[in-house]
Amino acid sequence: MTLPAINLLAVLLATVAAFVVGFIWFGPKTFFPIWWRSLGKDGDPGDGGNMGVVFGLTILGSVVQAIALSFVIGWVQLAGNDVTWFTGAIVGLIIGIGIAAASSLGHRLFAGQGFVVWLIEAGGDIAALTVMGAVIGAVIS
């Protein structure tokens, strides 16, 4: 099996794109208030936690996602397919729905967090992976 080359610029830009999507998705005027209440929380999100660790691990997770997505999109390209921003977006969308959202459904429901929490979190994951895929596809095309 041939491993595709990983474009570090694509990984960096996709990671930044994931943060922009997350910032918008979980903003105070978008889904954060509904998500926070659905979790049964009423305090500030930083209460009792080290937000440096939270953001650091979130960045690490986004980098890992960007690298994995780069491999998948690279394999699409190695298979002889043209890769564009649209191809990358479709790959990200499929991974977002088929892996990220599908695997987290049981976790949220068995944890008693409910469908609304899952819907908001999965929607954010799907949006982020779709945008990340578009960025990676655009950079490597």
Q: Convert the pLDDT of each residue in 30-41 to its tens digit.
A: 999 999 999 998
Model pTM?
0.94
Residue 2, domain member (yes or no): no
- Encoded amino acid at 46, one letter: G
- Residue 88, SS3? helix
Number of domains comprising the chain:
1
pLDDT-flagged residues of the chain (< 70)? 46-48
Distance CA 62, CA 56 (A): 10
- Encoded amino acid at 18, one letter: A
pLDDT at 46 (0 to 100): 65
| 96-122 per-position pLDDT tens digit | 999 999 999 999 999 999 999 999 999
Range of the domain at 22: 8-41+50-140
Residue 77, domain member (yes or no): yes
Residue 107, domain member (yes or no): yes
Distance CA 70, CA 82 (A): 14
Comparing CA positions, the residue from 100, 97, 85 lying closest to residue 134 is 85
pLDDT at 48 (0 to 100): 59
Residue 1, domain member (yes or no): no
